[in-house]
């Protein structure tokens, strides 16, 4: 049997009133929440944040995601006007990217009285390229600014131990130490000698005439090292700026040597360390007289020394001292290089008895700067291009004297052998 319960009329009316009140309350609450949310949004966005200007956003894809890009040509890397300031590298624009990049227009005010003066704006994008701070410093024995495109120099005094204790030394002993060192060019071969804590960074090697005390002064150890029987070795890696056959040309007072791609390719100066112990050598006498040094260099150039095959002597009118006392500059072995390929290079400079000191290092490219017409490029790793006035100022700043500056004539737009870490 089913039981039916029927709601009274009074109860049904009360239930409808309650449902109506609940519906009205819900509707009112929703409206209030909407109003409150609108007020919060207004105060946050309009009054607090304020209007914002539209911005352009740029995107440069990572180099590894970009398609292969041809490398700049050698001439683009090395050329520069012949008379810019030595302190500022030219602006170069190098673009690396896989897609167009959108940039906002920039308005640059130009003075009305510019009168023909050009305004150059360079925007460098990507990584690498000649505009990445090669600079123009590093003349003489170099400066203390590490990094960039330069070779790092280390200075040793062969008259004292690494702890500063005196050691017996003579021109003959200095030549013997250098002879032993250049058999391997291993830095450990000089580790027992005093080493200056200061490193110098050179970008070219052109210092035709000064006094030997300049080197200890430049390496910040003139209070500890007398200006004789010292050696500075510069090391690094360089990228060939062209493909072809070339050679190093230069000389040194007393020693200039170049090791390129792990082979000694130039040895020149008043002392020839590799001849130490050989009959008639000049390596055992650091103070060899000019006539003997000149005769021995000529014998090397004539092919009478098997260790210096392919060497040649070059004379130039402007090289007064080098011509009179050594017969000119020495051209070393021919070397084949490939553009963009990296090669290790080491350069040794040494003074033996003291007194006058100097060196110069140039290059010649076969078929270009010319073996036949004796034109030279300056060997350099950045835009440096020293002059006699530059070098005189540099040496005077260290409180050192200098002789008559006989600068060799070289190409002011010489190619750049960019140095890499």
Per-residue pLDDT of 139-177, as tens digits, reads 999 998 887 899 999 999 999 999 999 998 888 899 999
CA–CA gap between residue 295 and residue 297 (Å, rounded): 5
Q: Please say whether the dihedral angle defined by the alpha carbons of residues 105, 110, 112 and 114, taken in this order, is positive or negative.
A: negative
CA–CA gap between residue 402 and residue 32 (Å, rounded): 92
Query: Which of helix, strand or coil describes residue 367?
Result: coil
Is the pLDDT confidence value at 265 over 80? yes
Backbone angles phi, psi at 176, to 5 degrees: -65, -45
Task: Give the model's confidence band at 204: pLDDT under 50 very low, under 70 low, under 90 confident, else very high.
Answer: very high
Task: Return the pLDDT at 90.
Answer: 42
CA–CA gap between residue 196 and residue 179 (Å, rounded): 21
* Residue 176 structure tokens: 């013997």
CB contact at 8 A, 349 and 256: yes
Q: When comparing pLDDT for 27 and 211, which is higher?
A: 211
Per-residue pLDDT of 28-81, as tens digits, reads 777 887 888 777 877 665 555 555 555 545 545 444 444 444 444 444 444 444
CA–CA gap between residue 137 and residue 249 (Å, rounded): 22
Is the pLDDT confidence value at 114 over 50? no
CB contact at 8 A, 331 and 258: no
* Residue 111 structure tokens: 């003075």
Is the pLDDT confidence value at 20 over 70? yes
Q: Which of 58-67, 77-86, 110-119, 325-334 has the lowest mean pLDDT?
A: 110-119
Beta strands in 302-355 (DSSP E): 312-314, 329-331, 335-337, 342-351
Q: Region 391-410: what's the mean pLDDT?
A: 86
Q: Exposure of 339 by Cβ count < 10 A (0-12 exposed, 13-18 middle, 19+ buried)?
A: middle
Q: When comparing pLDDT for 250 and 8, which is higher?
A: 250
Do the bridges between strand 342-351 and strand 263-269 make them parallel or antiparallel, or are there none, so unpaired?
unpaired
* Residue 192 structure tokens: 């027992």
Task: Return the pLDDT at 6.
Answer: 58
Q: Which of 256-270, 281-295, 376-390 has the lowest mean pLDDT?
A: 281-295
Q: What percent of the chain has pLDDT over 70?
A: 73
* Residue 343 structure tokens: 């090669």
CA–CA gap between residue 238 and residue 418 (Å, rounded): 5
CA angle 290, 292, 297 (to 5 degrees): 95
Task: Return the pLDDT at 374.
Answer: 78
Q: Which of 124-138, 284-298, 305-319, 400-414 has the lowest mean pLDDT?
A: 124-138
DSSP annotation string for 208-265: EEEETTHHHHHTT-TTT--SSSEEEEEEEEEE-SSSEEEEEEEEEESEEEEEETTEEE
Is the pLDDT confidence value at 237 over 90? yes
Return the number of other C-beta atoms located less than 10 Å from residue 107's C-beta.
Answer: 4
Q: When comparing pLDDT for 43 and 7, which is higher?
A: 43
Give the DSSP H/E element, type plus range, for residue 326: helix 320-326
Is the pLDDT confidence value at 115 over 70? no
Residues pairing with 347 in the sheet = 234, 258
Q: Region 301-315: what's the mean pLDDT?
A: 86
Short-list 126, 134, 119, 120, CA closest to 89: 134
Task: Return the pLDDT at 116.
Answer: 36
Q: Region 373-390: what's the mean pLDDT?
A: 91
Q: Region 386-399: what's the mean pLDDT?
A: 89
């Amino acid at each position: 049997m089913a039981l039916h319960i029927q709601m009274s009329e009074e109860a049904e009316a009360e239930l409808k009133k309650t449902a109506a009140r609940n519906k009205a309350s819900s509707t009112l609450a929703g409206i209030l929440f909407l109003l409150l949310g609108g007020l919060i949004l207004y105060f946050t966005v309009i009054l607090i944040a304020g209007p914002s200007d539209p911005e352009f956003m740029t995107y440069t894809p990572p180099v590894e995601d970009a398609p292969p890009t041809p490398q700049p040509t050698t001439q683009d890397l090395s050329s520069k006007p012949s008379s810019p300031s030595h302190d500022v590298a030219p602006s170069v624009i190098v673009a690396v990217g896989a897609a167009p990049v959108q940039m906002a227009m920039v308005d640059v005010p130009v003075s009305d009285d510019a009168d023909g003066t050009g305004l150059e704006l360079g925007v460098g994008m990507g990584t690498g390229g000649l505009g990445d701070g090669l600079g123009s410093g590093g003349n003489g024995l170099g400066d203390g600014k590490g990094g960039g495109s330069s070779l790092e120099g280390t200075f040793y005094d062969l008259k004292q131990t690494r702890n500063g204790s005196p050691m017996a030394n003579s021109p003959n002993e200095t030549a013997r130490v250098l002879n032993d060192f250049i058999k391997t060019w291993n830095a450990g071969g000089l580790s027992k000698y005093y080493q200056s804590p200061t490193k110098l960074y050179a970008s070219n090697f052109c210092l035709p005439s000064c006094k030997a005390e300049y080197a200890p002064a430049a390496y910040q150890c003139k209070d500890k090292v007398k200006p004789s029987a010292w050696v500075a070795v510069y090391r690094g890696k360089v990228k060939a700026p062209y493909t072809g056959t070339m050679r190093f040309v230069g000389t040194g007072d007393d020693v200039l040597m170049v090791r390129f791609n792990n082979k000694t390719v130039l040895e020149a100066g008043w002392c020839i360390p590799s001849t130490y112990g050989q009959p008639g050598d000049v390596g055992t006498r650091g103070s060899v007289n000019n006539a003997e040094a000149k005769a021995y260099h000529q014998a090397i150039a004539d092919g009478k020394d098997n260790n210096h095959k392919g060497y040649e002597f070059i004379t130039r009118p402007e090289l007064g001292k080098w011509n009179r006392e050594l017969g000119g500059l020495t051209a070393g072995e021919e070397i084949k290089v490939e553009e963009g390929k990296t090669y290790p290079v080491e350069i040794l400079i040494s003074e033996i008895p003291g007194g006058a000191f100097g060196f110069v290092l140039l290059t010649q490219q076969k078929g270009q700067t010319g073996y036949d017409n004796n034109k030279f490029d300056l060997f350099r790793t950045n835009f440096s291009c020293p002059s006699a006035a530059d070098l005189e100022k540099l040496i005077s700043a260290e409180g050192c004297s200098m002789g008559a500056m006989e600068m060799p004539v070289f190409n002011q737009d010489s190619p750049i052998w960019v140095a890499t870490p």
